[in-house]
């Protein structure tokens, strides 16, 4: 069989930065004995190492160099067409008991799973290089920061981890040589990228991950969904903090007052766009800054919730990204970026559906085939991605490196719903807010394999990412609330409501600032709201709609509560809770009953 990841041979001084920590050395030795690689490459994150790996990746056609003038220092990678998204079916939480993994996770018995995976890994790196990637998640001086090591036989993974994490010597220094120190063990092998031998397995009790058979970012950049969310959420509960699938943004008003907001949306619902929002002209003097676009680690301090972004880069969905939808993302990905599964133009630029300007007359599509605007196939895969350093973002928040984290004034939940859910409303209190998060739902997108467009419940946008029993996770949220004397206010938003003609009612993009301003004004205690069965709802005059060309009927529809739809929605909440067995905390059952009762008042 063809070796899809031939070994690389580095000159002296590259690939030989071994850690001192004996526990790490022992583990690497064990994995090496099992996988039998040609050689071991110890990454240090240096520029010289990077240059070497880029040169090797070009030689092996793992990446294609893009036009240096148009997209400096950037590359295109094409994944195997059978491997373009996260695979929830093959993602497992391997806790000692099934109950610990809970009703929303695939569970697999740890000893059996280790044994099966070790079988697959046996000799899997023969003729390949085993890269050892040390990294940290979190700002260097945050108490929440975690050390991880990822072993991989994919150069693409190494190049990506260098962007997505603080990688290399910084992790070795942080870890030190205490053999008992806490660190995450991640093993990844491409094997032969066969969906029949694709498994992403988490062993939270061992702080360990094994991922085989895939090269797609969400499955193989083990720092991200695997460590920062699945293992992270498990550790967070044990250690009393929170690991959430949330963006973090800063909002500064013209009078200089600043608030931080975190927001949870399911995959591919516009989190990155919201995190990088540029206020429309009408909001002159307002400034939005990005702390993070995907993951928030939060802890309680002095009765408030403080958040850090554990990541160092963005792994965002490309199609639809344009100067209209997200100018800051466009500027961020204009250089130093690794693109996956977008189209390549004849002048070695990148192209995707929804990019500004007309489509190219000819391109090579994400599968490597000729493409013209007449082609039936999409040029870029709907889940094609950019991997880009967060420091490229012109709106990066000044506190992003601060270990203390930023104080969160508001938490926003949202999903993609064509009906039922108003543009925005505010929870009555923390526990009610937890209920909003717990019953969140969204129409599915291309970020995960499977049917697109079906409504599925996705509590706190954590359905695919909660590394333990979802009932315990809800209880953890409720418990955190008890420790907050100054809790964030909680909101629900829906940018995706459609009118009778099937058209979106809300213009979206930068106009989301209008909703955000109401959120901030509520935090400041100076915005009006009407009490409704759902919670606090803005009246049409409470939202700043100045200079927005929108019909008042549209606003009424956006903010409207359709009692019939809500009767169905509440039945769906009950069905969802029932489907989880008896894990739901009493408090949330009570919330559902009081919601139903409010509709009867
Ligand atoms: C992501 C996802 O890639 O949520 O961020 O799927
Ligand atoms: Mn995500």
pLDDT tens readout for residues 559-589 = 999 999 999 999 999 999 999 999 999 999 9
Strand partners, 493: 414, 424
- Ligand 1 atom nearest the C-alpha of 448 is 6
Mean pLDDT for the chain overall: 96
Average pLDDT, integer, range 55-64:
98
Question: CA 542, 544, 550: angle at the middle one, nearest 5?
Answer: 105
**Distance (Å, rounded) from C-alpha 308 to C-alpha 296?**
6
Other C-beta atoms closer than 10 Å to the C-beta of 599 total: 14
- pLDDT of 453 reads 75
Q: Going by CA atoms, what residue is nearest to atom 4 of ligand 1?
A: 267
d(CA 284, CA 417): 30
Closest CA to 319 of 341, 349, 299: 341
Among 43, 94, 201, 269, which one carries the catalytic annotation?
A: 269
In tens, the pLDDT along 213-238 reads: 999 999 999 999 999 999 999 999 99
How far, in Å, is the centroid of ligand 1 from the Cα of 523?
29
Q: Is the CB of 315 under 6 A from ligand 1?
A: yes
Ligand 1: residue whose CA is nearest its atom 1: 267
Tell how far the Cα of 266 is from the centroid of ligand 2, in angstroms.
Answer: 7
- pLDDT tops 70 at residue 10: yes
State how beta strands 406-414 and 258-264 pair. Answer: parallel
Which atom belonging to ligand 1 lies closest to the Cα atom of 385? 3
Instruction: Give residue 224 CA to ligand 1 midpoint distance, Å.
Output: 9
Residue 373 pLDDT > 80: yes
Average pLDDT of span 22-35: 98
The b-or-e profile of 564-581 (16+ CB within 10 A means b, else e) is eebeebbeebeebbeebe
Residue 267 Cβ contacting ligand 1 at under 6 Å: yes
Please determine, for residue 447, whether its predicted confidence score (pLDDT) is greater than 70: no
Measured between alpha carbons, how far is residue 181 from residues 172, 230, 235, 304, 361 in Å?
A: 12, 20, 14, 29, 56
d(CA 73, CA 339): 11
Hey, which of 294, 309, 386, 466 would you mutate to test ligand 1's pocket, going by the most ligand atoms within 8 Å of its Cβ? Answer: 294
270 C-beta closer than 6 A to ligand 1: no
Strand partners, 299: 306
CA 597 / ligand 1 centre spacing (Å): 36
Question: Measured on CA atoms in the order 46, 50, 51, 56, is the torsion positive or negative?
Answer: positive
> Is the full-model pTM beyond 0.95?
yes
Give the Å distance between the CA of 394 and the centre of ligand 1.
22
Measured between alpha carbons, how far is residue 394 from residues 278, 312, 479, 517 in Å? Answer: 11, 15, 37, 21
The residue whose CA is least distant from atom 3 of ligand 1 is 218
- Which ligand 1 atom lies nearest to the CA of residue 86? 6
The CA distance from 410 to 482, in Å, is 17
Q: How far is the CA of 496 from the centre of ligand 2 (A)?
A: 18
Q: How far is CA 147 from the centre of its chain?
A: 19
Residues 144-195 have pLDDT tens digits of 999 999 999 999 999 999 999 999 999 999 999 999 999 999 999 999 999 9
- Residue 523 a catalytic site member: no
Q: Is 311 in the pocket of ligand 1 (CB under 6 A)?
A: no
Q: Residues with Cβ within 5 Å of ion ligand 2?
A: 267, 294
Residues composing the chain: 601
Q: Report yes or no: 293 and 262 within 8 Å, Cβ to Cβ.
A: no
């Amino acid at each position: 069989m063809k070796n899809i990841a031939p070994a690389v041979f580095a000159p002296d001084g590259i690939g030989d930065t071994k850690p001192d920590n004996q526990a790490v050395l022992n583990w690497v030795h064990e994995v090496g004995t099992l996988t039998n690689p040609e050689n071991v490459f110890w990454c240090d994150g240096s520029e010289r190492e990077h240059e070497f790996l880029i040169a090797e990746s070009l030689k092996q056609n793992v990446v294609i160099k893009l036009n240096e003038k148009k997209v400096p220092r950037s590359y295109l990678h094409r994944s195997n067409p059978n491997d373009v998204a996260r695979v929830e079916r093959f993602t497992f939480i391997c806790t000692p008991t099934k109950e610990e993994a809970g009703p929303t996770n695939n569970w697999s018995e740890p000893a059996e799973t280790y044994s099966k995976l070790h079988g697959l890994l046996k000799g899997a790196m023969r003729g390949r290089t085993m890269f050892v990637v040390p990294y940290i998640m979190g700002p260097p001086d945050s108490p929440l920061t975690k050390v991880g090591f990822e072993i991989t036989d994919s150069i693409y993974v190494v190049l990506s981890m260098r962007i997505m994490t603080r990688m290399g010597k910084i992790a070795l220094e942080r870890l030190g040589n205490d053999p008992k120190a806490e660190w995450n063990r991640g093993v990844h092998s491409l094997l032969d990228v066969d969906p029949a031998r694709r498994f992403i397995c988490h062993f939270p009790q061992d702080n360990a991950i094994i991922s085989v058979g895939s090269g797609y970012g969400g499955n193989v950049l083990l720092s991200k969904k695997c460590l920062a969310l699945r293992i992270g959420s498990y550790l967070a509960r044990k250690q009393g903090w929170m690991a959430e699938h949330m963006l973090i943004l800063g909002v500064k008003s013209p009078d200089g007052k600043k608030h931080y907001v975190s927001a949870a949306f399911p995959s591919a619902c516009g989190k990155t766009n919201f995190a990088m929002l540029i206020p429309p002209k009408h909001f002159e003097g307002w400034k939005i800054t990005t702390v993070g676009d995907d993951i928030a680690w939060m802890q309680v301090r002095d009765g408030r919730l403080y958040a850090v972004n554990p990541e160092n880069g963005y792994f965002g969905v490309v199609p639809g990204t344009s100067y209209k939808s997200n100018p800051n993302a466009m500027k961020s990905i204009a250089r130093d970026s690794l693109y996956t599964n977008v189209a390549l133009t004849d002048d070695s630029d990148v192209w995707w559906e929804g990019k500004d300007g007309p489509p190219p007359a000819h391109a090579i599509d994400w599968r490597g085939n000729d493409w013209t605007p007449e082609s039936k196939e999409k040029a870029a895969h709907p889940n094609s991605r950019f991997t880009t350093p967060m420091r490229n973002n012109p709106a990066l928040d000044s506190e992003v490196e601060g270990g203390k984290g930023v104080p969160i004034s508001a938490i926003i939940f949202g999903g993609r719903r064509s009906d039922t859910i108003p543009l925005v409303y505010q929870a009555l209190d923390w526990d009610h807010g937890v209920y909003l998060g717990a019953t969140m739902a969204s129409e599915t997108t291309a970020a995960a394999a499977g049917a697109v467009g079906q409504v599925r419940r996705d509590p706190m946008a954590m359905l695919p990412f909660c590394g333990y029993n979802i009932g315990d996770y809800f209880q953890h949220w409720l418990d955190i609330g008890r420790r907050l004397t100054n809790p964030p206010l909680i909101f629900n938003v829906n940018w995706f409501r459609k009118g009778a003609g099937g058209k979106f009612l809300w213009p979206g993009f930068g106009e989301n600032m209008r909703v955000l301003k109401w959120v901030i004004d509520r935090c400041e205690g100076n915005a009006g709201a009407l009490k409704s069965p759902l919670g606090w709802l803005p009246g049409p005059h409470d939202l700043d709609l100045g200079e927005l060309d929108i019909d008042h009927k549209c606003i009424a529809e956006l903010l409207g509560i359709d009692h019939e739809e809500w009767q169905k929605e509440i039945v769906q909440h009950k069905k969802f809770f029932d489907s989880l067995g008896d894990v739901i905390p009493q408090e949330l059952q009570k919330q559902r009953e009081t919601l139903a009762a409010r509709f009867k008042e």
